[in-house]
Amino acid sequence: MESGDVIEKIAVNVIQGRVEAEDDGFDEGYEGQPAVTELVEEAVNMKVDPALLILDGLTRPMEQVGQKFESGKYLIPDMLASAECVGAAMDILAPHLSGTGVESKGKFVLATVAGDLHDIGKNIVAIMLKGAGYEVIDLGTDVSADRIADAVGENQAPYLGLSALLTTTMRNMEDVIGKLEERKIREKVKIMVGGAPTSAQFADRIGADAYCKDAFQAINTLKAFG
Ligand code: B1M
């Protein structure tokens, strides 16, 4: 199989919500065929570029899952089945993305903001940053502005990444920045924001230092910070 074919098959199985070969798909006729676990293992053996796999095999199909949810074709359990596929794929890919970890490039606090339970993108960012040599302090999802400010202060972290997937929760990023200002530590930390509803204009408006379209841009932005 060519690397493009295996990535395409992974994408199809993410959309079908099939983690393992014995799983049914959203549509009929998939049972018994290799699913995300088997295909990602095959891709690793084939030395397929993990960056391409994450982008075309995992991230893009999740956009399609979102569209299917929006149009009413998929329900929440269908979105969750696809989310599970991405988690399973990242578990297999993680050891292949990790750097040697000899010297940390600095502490990076990462969180999905209050009210928001989406963590697939944040987890990808965490794995990629660890692989690039940063010490990631992942606070999880639905994290209050206070807890985020505590973590930045206690760890004296030079970097903070905030994730939000909902238009209703992205505004909570501004509260985090307010909290850091209140505690007089805003200037000590570079703040990067990401997640589907955010943008460069939004980052600018709330006073963040950068917007990251994806995990790769997060790494490039960190390099640019020096
Ligand atoms: Co939700 N959901 N969801 N969902 N969900 C969206 C976001 C939605 C767009 C779907 C849709 O309607 N089209 C919609 C939001 C609409 C809006 O706000 N305008 C939506 C909704 C409505 C909801 C609920 C309200 C549904 C309900 O209950 N009625 C509910 C809210 C729950 C809550 O959070 N309080 C909900 C629940 C869920 C599930 C639990 C079922 C599940 C999440 C499972 C999980 O995360 N463990 C889920 C999913 C899977 C999605 C979609 C389909 C996929 C999100 C995703 O994982 N994308 C999503 C549709 C979509 O986004 N198109 C949708 C793949 C991921 C790799 O991309 O997260 O963007 P992303 O991360 C990228 C970049 O954005 C960037 O890098 C990442 C990797 O490259 N990035 C960062 C992200 N954070 C960063 C931080 C950084 C840097 C870069 O810091 C340095």
Tell me, in angstroms, the distance from the centre of ligand 1 to residue 166's CA. Answer: 7
Specify the 3-state DSSP secondary structure of 47: coil
Q: Is 76 a pocket residue for ligand 1 (Cβ < 6 Å)?
A: yes
Q: How far is CA 77 from CA 28, 35, 102, 113, in A?
A: 17, 18, 41, 23
Q: Whose CA is closest to atom 64 on ligand 1?
A: 66
Nearest 5°: phi and psi at 129?
-70, -40
What is the mean pLDDT for each group of 10 consecutive residues in the chain (226 residues)? 91 98 95 96 95 93 94 95 94 79 82 97 91 93 98 98 98 98 98 98 98 93 91
pLDDT value at residue 102 = 55
pLDDT value at residue 158 = 98
Characterize 98-124 residue by residue with b for buried, 16 or more Cβ atoms within 10 angstroms of its Cβ, and e for exposed: eeeeeeeeebbbbbbbbbbebbbbbbb
Q: Is 15 a pocket residue for ligand 1 (Cβ < 6 Å)?
A: no
d(CA 185, CA 132): 25
pLDDT value at residue 1 = 78
What domains can you pick out in the chain, each with its CATH number? 3-96 (1.10.1240.10), 107-225 (3.40.50.280)
Return the ligand 1 atom nearest residue 80 CA. Answer: 41
Q: Is 119 a pocket residue for ligand 1 (Cβ < 6 Å)?
A: yes
pLDDT value at residue 208 = 98
